[in-house]
Chains A and B, each alone.
Chain A
């Protein structure tokens, strides 16, 4: 088969090419010039608009998109459409982040004052408000009418509560107890704690849920005492989980040099009050070294398997020889990271520098 001329193809006339080139240069000059005038946010808008104009000229004429088949035009435009989806949906996250509720002790706890007066007294307004919150928070499991038959109910065992049935409420049907359930959840069932909702909203939910069946029990003063409420007061303060900004959360994350260390740190803050460095050292020693090197200089449980006697770092016996690896932090690091070839000492390459430091400090301290 021979060749035929590609005759339907549009050839860019030299004159058009030169005109477009000149136009592009003029537009470049305009962008630079306008950038020097302060127009606030419009600077960005104009700069992007001019860039788009330039890009369109290049695409339409230099790249011949103007005379291209509609198929190819569609293909090229599609890419920008999906780019737009990418940026818009990601922006719904990055520009709309709120403070995050944090369970833990390292940040001062906040407390919230309920805004309503005596929210434990049911009113039609509270019930209506409760219904709104219910529609957002509870329908998935408990169902639209509170029959415990929401779309997710099928997967749950025990099944979600049917609010129209009176029997079998784990904490009873008194308002204070329903309130308590909302705050604490019902472990180990799938009923979670809704302590993140403001107390007033939880009271509203309580009243709505109880309104689904007319038979309501009344709280005794003892019940109020159990949830820490004085029914004679106008309102009540409730401890709330502290909130931190996403920025703070990120910086917290940044301080943790590795996940390992973070774990050790939390462990530390909970169970023991020791200096941080050596503490990590002890934790790591017990985790990685104990099996071979043993606790008190006699070698660990694996010694009989290894045949070679691992160095007893934690010396209790005066005759125990110090390992040359303990001469300095650098030598120690090398030995631990790479292992000691020919000596069955494996490398622990995933320890961070601060972990190695802690381990070294711990061993030094133990030997003194």
Chain B
């Protein structure tokens, strides 16, 4: 965890401010907590990724029995889903990058409640521990959605996974709470709402969702645990309850959770595009407010996960209609980004490449979402690989591209060193090509009717499944390569300037890496952070 060897000798900064393992485990510094989150999340990402590769390997040949039996396969996709959703994609950007960057962007010395912040980290790890512990017992085979009544009946260790997700949920709540208060109360003098960087706006909207939606997940999981322990029967048809009600409860959280995943990534893209286009952001207010539009709409569309589950036709109609509205604020953002790039002086550095990756993949994911929101089509596509491809385009193509964009963008700030730009470009192409090779065939497979979550398939689907599996290997190589050049950069990369990208948000006004209290003196903000002048097209020479 401690990168003391990576530290640039000389001045005092957060990495060398204090030393030893305990100075990390007991730290109240948001930057160190952010890094601890980052490395934990990457560890879970590795775990989830291994399960993904195992799933793809099982599907390499038709007929099942390639690697594991059907029950083990059920556990594999359950673990892939649960780990990736609860332990990777939800905390990845807000808890890791957000924790590191948000207070610096606001010109604050720390988040509002540093102790609570550290507590959130340990709560998160406790929850993760429970979930991972279940792996070594009898696992879980319900899928990450825990649908009743199967989740009540199965003899696997679902209870531990439920408990783990319940605990990890509190971490998410407390992080959201912390961020809202931080943004409300700890902005630097002069940093008015309309001067707030768009990443902060995005995190603000995300935090609101976390605070409003996650408690409902908590009570849902408590009730489900109680179903198993006390047989309360609220979700159990055998005892007079309603299993579809569980789905309402679950998706009231889990649909907004999708926006917990994607909004911060959108924030990162909004930061990167003006910097690398050397132009003021187009439609600042539209981007800021559309985050809130998305946050609000997030709460009124959950029923589109349940079109074929037996909910009423009225509900189907209402949710299908409401879902279409998500496209509006999302479209506003995409068009604003494109508008920003228009006639800009675009620099194709790694962060910008990932921003392009985000735009391409997220747009594909978003538009296929519109297909799925259309009731008549969804009835046929539900539970096929079309859905799998759709949400991987949104979550991997959206969130993960955003995360990688952010990691490349803030890497010099976090570690005070640069990664190899050439290596980053190779890594980008490996990941993006691998991703498309993996998931594009799944759109076709789904449209042809291949159901998801089965450990085998009809022989005619073999060819596309093979391509998909090969693609997943390519993504794997891409990520390992990325980890490698990041590690190289941390240890022996070129020393980074305070502001290597010539950007204007506050985190670039302090040294790299930042000092223990972020700024030597509290910054005073006098202008908007996107004031790029027409003649100001320069990037530092070594990065062009």
Contact = CB atoms under 8 A, between A and B. Distances in A.
A246 interface: yes
A141 B71 contact: no
A5 interface: no
B155 A253 contact: no
A254 B238 contact: yes
Interface string B367-378: 010110010110
A257 interface: yes
A85 B299 contact: yes
Given A89-B303, A92-B318, A155 B380 contact: no
Contacts of B371: 151-152, 155
Contacts of B306: 93
B149 interface: yes
A259 B156 CA distance: 14
B342 interface: no
Looking at B150, B236, B237, B449, the one whose CB has the most chain A CB atoms below 10 A away is B237
B252 A86 contact: yes
Looking at A93, A152, A251, the one whose CB has the most chain B CB atoms below 10 A away is A93
A251 B237 CA distance: 7
Interface in B166-223: 184, 212, 216
Given A89-B319, A93-B311, 19 more contacts: A78-B212, A86-B299, A90-B252, A92-B303, A92-B318, A93-B248, A95-B312, A96-B312, A96-B313, A96-B315, A98-B312, A100-B310, A137-B376, A151-B370, A249-B310, A250-B237, A254-B239, A259-B150, A350-B156
Contacts of B448: 188
Contacts of A96: 312-315
A140 B374 contact: yes
Question: In terms of DSSP, what is the predominant structure of the interface of chain B?
Answer: helix
Contact of A93 (B138, B150, B315, B447): B315
Contacts of A251: 237
Interface residues of B, number: 47
Nearest to B444: A157
Interface in A241-285: 246, 249-251, 253-254, 257-259
A165 interface: no
A254 B237 contact: yes
A89 B311 CA distance: 11
A97 interface: yes
A79 interface: yes
A92 B447 contact: no
A35 interface: no
A141 B375 CA distance: 11
Given A82-B212, A155-B447, A350-B156, A93 B71 contact: no
8 contacts: A96-B314, A137-B376, A152-B377, A155-B371, A155-B386, A156-B447, A254-B149, A257-B238
B153 interface: yes
Looking at A98, A155, A253, the one whose CB has the most chain B CB atoms below 10 A away is A155
A82 B299 contact: yes
A124 interface: no
B376 A92 contact: no
B245 A94 contact: yes
B71 A86 contact: no
B497 interface: no
Interface residues of A, number: 40
Looking at A79, A90, A349, the one whose CB has the most chain B CB atoms below 10 A away is A90
Given A151-B370, A152-B374, A250-B242, A349 B155 contact: yes
A211 interface: no
A92 B312 contact: yes
A71 interface: yes
A11 to B, nearest CB: 22
B461 to A, nearest CB: 13
A350 B447 contact: no
A190 B447 contact: yes
Contacts of A94: 242, 245, 312
B154 A350 contact: yes
Contacts of B314: 92-93, 96
Contacts of A254: 149, 236-239
A45 interface: no
A140 B376 contact: yes
A100 B316 CA distance: 14
B380 A190 contact: yes
Contacts of A140: 374, 376-377
B300 interface: yes
Given A141-B376, A151-B370, A254-B237, A85 B242 contact: no
Nearest to B236: A254
A78 B180 CA distance: 14
A192 interface: yes
B244 interface: yes
B397 interface: no
A351 to B, nearest CB: 8
A192 B380 CA distance: 8
Interface string A181-210: 000000010101000000000000000000
Contacts of B216: 86
Nearest to A352: B153
A85 B295 CA distance: 13
A151 B313 CA distance: 22
Nearest to B318: A92
A259 B155 CA distance: 12
Contacts of B236: 254
Interface in A341-368: 349-352
B370 A89 contact: no
A97 B312 contact: yes
A93 B374 CA distance: 18
Interface in B287-327: 299-300, 302-303, 306, 310-315, 318-319
Interface in B315-361: 315, 318-319
Interface in A129-165: 137, 140-141, 151-152, 155-157
Nearest to B185: A71
A183 B12 CA distance: 77
B243 interface: yes
Interface string B441-474: 0010001110000000000000000000000000
Nearest to A347: B138
A137 B376 CA distance: 7
Contacts of B315: 89, 92-93, 96
